[in-house]
Amino acid sequence: MNFEKNLTDMPIEDFRASGKELIDWIADYLQQIEKYPPLSKVKSGEIYSRIPTEPPTKGEDIEKVLSDIDKILIDGITHWNHPGFMAYFNSTSSMPGILAEMLSAAFNANGMLWKTSPAFTELEKAMMNWLRQMVGLPENYWGIIYDTASTSSMHAIASAREQLNLGIRESGMTGRNDLPKLRLYCSEHAHSSIEKGAVTLGIGLNGVKKISADDSFRMIPEKLEQAIKDDLTNNIKPFCVVATVGTTSTTSVDPVKEIAAICERYNLWLHIDAAYAGVTAMIPEMKWITNGWERADSLVINPHKWMFTPMDLSIYFTRKPDILKRAFSLIPEYLKTQVDDEVENLMDYGIQLGRRFRSLKLWFIIRYFGVDGLAERIKAHIELAQEFAKWVDDEKDFERMAPVPFSTVCFRYNPGNLSEDELNRVNEMLLEKINQSGKIFLSHTKLDGKFTIRLTIGSIRHERKHIVNAWEVIKSIARR
Ligand SMILES: *Cc1c(COP(=O)(O)O)cnc(C)c1O
């Protein structure tokens, strides 16, 4: 080995200089983001073809790397921070959140154990306590940060399974004839992550029973109870119900109180998926959505959706962290510490060992905006969506397809003289043209077989003018 060579990191003065340059690049990018189309227009493989197929043998200047952001990547970016981005559920990064991400990378603290960074575990605990109060959950709720709602809900289903005491942790599920078939229930509008959780945990897709919804896309409690009774008669063991507060297609809210009563009657784990809409519980007018939350076993909320937190940050709250720990705690010798009895080691509460210092983002964002500042922004989005819904209702050739409890509006173009098949084709084409316009980006769903356009407001960069402009774009393209 040649010890004359410099085998250390980038020189600190270079880091200082390029760091400042990158911050300037980010500031310019966010300031001028509207010069880009929100939806990337590249063809599949286009970005890949710009990148050398072989890695550089010798190091390159960081300057060269930075200049390639514009040359190679930028056309292939779909700009989630663009105020014309109104597809899916917005996920936008506020500037305090961006700063926190930088700090997280600098510490590179891995919070597997309390000892591997006491501040990590304790800041996360403090932020979970803040968030719990912000959304009005009782004190007996304990929280942890995972990457996504998909992971949070998977841990909820795992806990529900563990609660059954069927020895699955030790003996698994395969090759056993002493196990009943297990059943999980959710509405037909539940997010696909629930089924993925069931797939992961050996419940299987057939172990998920989709309960039908009413005209407003809410789970029908009577149908849920009937399905449970039917399963019991057939020796299938019900174990978990997932209620959704803010479904993905229409943001409908399942009747949690009625569902909770059924779960209590049959002793089933109740998990609430409030990934998108949960943050609105911060607003006094929206408190109604928390009806029955105190009776759930667990609940997921995603600050990375509507709380201006850079990807990724999902919060899993549960009243039964002991069951989560029973399901996942496994401590090899090399991870034992002398303080294990006194502290919480986050690795005990899930499948991952290492974890990123995500709570920094919450600490920066909640402190910078304040609870009132966050609530006011979210409330403004809901009001803008109500206004947009009214515009849709007032136009003769547009039709609203679902109630608007939050900030997502489902609608379609309907001039009144087309068959359902033609309407589906026309609206699919309309959405395509809207997204090709390079001005806004919307997404779609299907409701009772009807192709439906979805517009979501929830970006920290959304102002009234963007919503006015979106409506102009939609109307003018539709009528052309
Ligand atoms: C977005 C969403 C999810 C999935 O979120 P990820 O964090 O991407 O896994 C699950 N449920 C609902 C209701 C959602 O809106």
pLDDT tens per residue across span 376-431: 999 999 999 999 999 999 999 999 999 999 999 999 999 999 999 999 999 999 99
Q: Which atom of ligand 1 approaches the CA of 276 most closely?
A: 15
208: left (phi over 0), alpha (psi -120 to 50) or beta: beta
Q: Which atom of ligand 1 approaches the CA of 153 most closely?
A: 10
- Containing domain of residue 136, as a range? 110-356
Q: Single out the residue of 341, 337, 361 nearest to residue 112, CA to CA.
A: 337
Rounded Cα gap, residues 277 and 6, in angstroms: 52
The verdict on residue 417 lying in a domain is no
139: pLDDT strictly greater than 90: yes
CATH number of the domain where residue 119 is located: 3.40.640.10
Residue 275 Cα, ligand 1 centroid: separation in angstroms? 5
pTM for this entry: 0.96
Residue 426 Cα, ligand 1 centroid: separation in angstroms? 29
Residue 322 Cα, ligand 1 centroid: separation in angstroms? 25
Hey, which of 154, 247, 276 would you mutate to test ligand 1's pocket, going by the most ligand atoms within 8 Å of its Cβ? 276
Residue 191 Cα, ligand 1 centroid: separation in angstroms? 7
The verdict on residue 302 lying in a domain is yes
Q: Which atom of ligand 1 approaches the CA of 148 most closely?
A: 7
Q: Single out the residue of 179, 158, 161, 195 nearest to residue 236, CA to CA.
A: 179
The verdict on residue 393 lying in a domain is no
Question: Considering the chain, what is the average pLDDT of its residues?
Answer: 96
The verdict on residue 439 lying in a domain is no
The verdict on residue 229 lying in a domain is yes
pLDDT tens per residue across span 157-212: 999 999 999 999 999 999 999 999 999 999 999 999 999 999 999 999 999 999 99
Residue 7 Cα, ligand 1 centroid: separation in angstroms? 43
Residue 427 Cα, ligand 1 centroid: separation in angstroms? 25
Q: How many CA atoms lie within 13 A of 106 on its CB side?
A: 11
Q: Which atom of ligand 1 approaches the CA of 147 most closely?
A: 7
Quote the DSSP letter at residue 73.
Answer: I
3: pLDDT strictly greater than 80: no
Tally the domains of the chain. Answer: 1
Work out whether the CA dihedral 349, 254, 413, 418 comes out positive or negative. Answer: positive
The answer to whether the CB of 456 falls within 8 A of the CB of 80 is no
The verdict on residue 383 lying in a domain is no
Query: What per-residue confidence (pLDDT) applies to 412?
Result: 98
The verdict on residue 213 lying in a domain is yes
In this structure, the residues whose C-beta lies within 6 A of any atom of ligand 1 are 89, 148-150, 191, 193, 244, 246, 248, 273, 275-276, 302, 314
The verdict on residue 202 lying in a domain is yes
Rounded Cα gap, residues 374 and 377, in angstroms: 5
Query: What per-residue confidence (pLDDT) applies to 1?
Result: 53
